[in-house]
Amino acid sequence: MHRIILILLMSSVVNGKEMKTNKYFLWNKAIAKNLKVIRNEAGSHVRPKSILSAGDSISYSDCFIWHLRTRLKQPGMLSSEGYVYYPKQWCALGGQQSDWGKRKIKQAIKKGKPELITILFGTNDLRHGKKDSEKFAANIRYIIDTAIKGGAIPILITIPPAENMNTKTFQAFNQKIRSFSVKLKLPLIDFEKIFKDFGNWQALTFDGVHPNSKKDGSGGYDHFNRIFFDLYKLIEKDVFNREIKKPKRVLLKETKKGDSVIKEYGVNKNSKTTIWVTCKNKKVVHESYDSDLDGKIDLIWTYKNGKIISGEEDLDRDGKLETKFTIKNAWKNET
């Protein structure tokens, strides 16, 4: 029997009560071995550190995984470290069901050549669709097979609870997802258990359907993202032979330009410049990154009074900074 690994990492205070956050995911040696096969067969076909999401509004929200690209306190999975988060609309969009994902997946995989893909459909199938678990399973299996054929490693995710769902059908859908994880030896994050361990799962949503995100880290998305990060660290180490470490920064050059000082950094003394830091009055005002060393800036942070207030990002690495966000609205639900 495969067993779900329980990870207890932290406690949060919610409504005056201490809550232990139980994080569940399926991971074992057999899964790691299978993912190595998928990765080795893909070879150079896939883009390292690239992530695609397939799903409905829960995956489409900026709160789902994308927050990992802009985390400020902990390294790992940051865009400034070369991680690419493909545009959500490629294979994730509000209101969509699994049959839409089936139609979109092939082109998304071909276009992005992702190293990893998250798969989370089912909420709209259950609330607005025909509620056919066999058809749903066939759609999910097609998405999984297409991803693997394209060299992408799937992370399966169970459907979180929501209002106006038939309990029996809901359980049948999630059982299909869990069975694929065991049968195909793929990692799984149990979103349903995350919500149900909390007790009052509605408090992890903002409308009874969509997970929320809170400044104190106690929202539904916040718990999920921590679990995803913990699982991804295992995949990095056991499958990709990469280990998340604090990135090195060596000063290569310092140039004065008017009242500004521009400092250029690299990963070692002989490397190309990967980071440009602009300072005024000894305070950082901008940081620019060339994460993949292609000579083009792919991320710019803007600072005010020592804190990051906004950023611009080239998510699809086409040489254009097409995505702009502030730290305030980067955490806003978009459903």
* Residue 244 domain flag: no
74-129 confidence digits (pLDDT tens): 678 887 788 888 989 999 999 999 999 999 999 999 999 999 999 999 999 999 98
Domain carrying residue 277: 250-330
For position 217, which CATH number holds?
Answer: 3.40.50.1110
Q: What is the pTM of this model?
A: 0.78
- Measured CA to CA, the distance from residue 64 to residue 59 in angstroms comes to 6
Q: What is the pLDDT of residue 161?
A: 94
- Are residue 69 and residue 205 in the same domain, yes or no? yes
DSSP 16: T
36-45 confidence digits (pLDDT tens): 999 999 988 9
Handedness of CA 138, 140, 143, 148 (dihedral sign): negative
* Residue 39 domain flag: yes
Q: Which two tokens stand for residue 195?
A: 């919500």
Mean pLDDT of 199-217: 87
* Residue 320 domain flag: yes
Single out the residue in 179, 207, 238 at which a domain terminates.
238
Single out the residue in 238, 260, 291 at which a domain terminates.
238
Pairing of strands 153-157, 114-120: parallel
130-149 confidence digits (pLDDT tens): 889 999 999 999 999 999 99
Count of domains observed in the chain: 2
SS3 call for 77? coil
- Are residue 205 and residue 259 in the same domain, yes or no? no
Q: Which two tokens stand for residue 261?
A: 């000082």
